Amino acid sequence: MPVLTTTEIMELIPNRYPILYMDYVEEMVPDESIMAVKNVTINEQYFQGHFPGNPVMPGVLIIESLAQAASILILSSPQFKGKTAYMTGINDAKFKKMVVPGDVLKLHVTFGKVRENMGSVLVTAKVDGKVATSAELMFVVAPDEKENE
């Protein structure tokens, strides 16, 4: 049973179809870690061109999926609730396994360092328990626009 459904995810982050790359959150320990799930299907728009006859999920979209899961974790933290998180950097990205239609992509995120409105998260995307992608993502949380008025 999901901890957060797609509808609940959309209440936390601004991403919508066709650029919402997760189906539900399976586990979450606030201010610590999250595990979200993306069911990869042949119906994804990007498979029309990446690559015809050999569909492979683009690495940049795996990173985006991980960033969205990280946003949920970050914005679930009381200090960042109701704000927007932006990715500011990617370190040590490694792509070890192709992700193809039919795969269930498990998006694992843990907090790294956090200071005021910025920090890092350690991310791993797995298929069948095997690492497909890993990286460290840096983020900044924008202040509320109302705070600046």
Query: Total domain count for the chain?
Result: 1
Mean pLDDT of the chain: 93
Confidence at 149, pLDDT banded by 50, 70, 90: very low
Q: What is the pLDDT of residue 4?
A: 95
Contacts of 32 (CB under 8 A, 6+ apart): 110, 111
Contacts of 117 (CB under 8 A, 6+ apart): 80, 140, 141, 142, 143
Q: For the segment 31-84, what is each residue's pLDDT rounded down to a tens digit?
A: 999 999 999 999 999 999 999 899 999 999 999 999 999 999 999 998 898 899
Report whether 40 contacts 46 (CB < 8 A).
no
- CATH of residue 28's domain is 3.10.129.10
SS3 for 87? strand
| Positions marked catalytic | 50
1 within some domain: no
- How far apart CA 108 and CA 88 sit, in angstroms, is 19
81 within some domain: yes
Q: What is the pLDDT of residue 103?
A: 98
Q: Range of 92's domain?
A: 6-148
**What percent of the chain clears pLDDT 90, i.e. is strictly above it?**
87
Amino acid identity of residue 14, one-letter, is P
Look up the pTM and report it. Answer: 0.93
93 within some domain: yes
Q: Is the pLDDT of residue 136 over 90?
A: yes
Q: What is the pLDDT of residue 148?
A: 46
Q: Is the pLDDT of residue 147 over 60?
A: no
What stretches of the chain show up as alpha helix (H) in DSSP? Answer: 6-12, 59-75
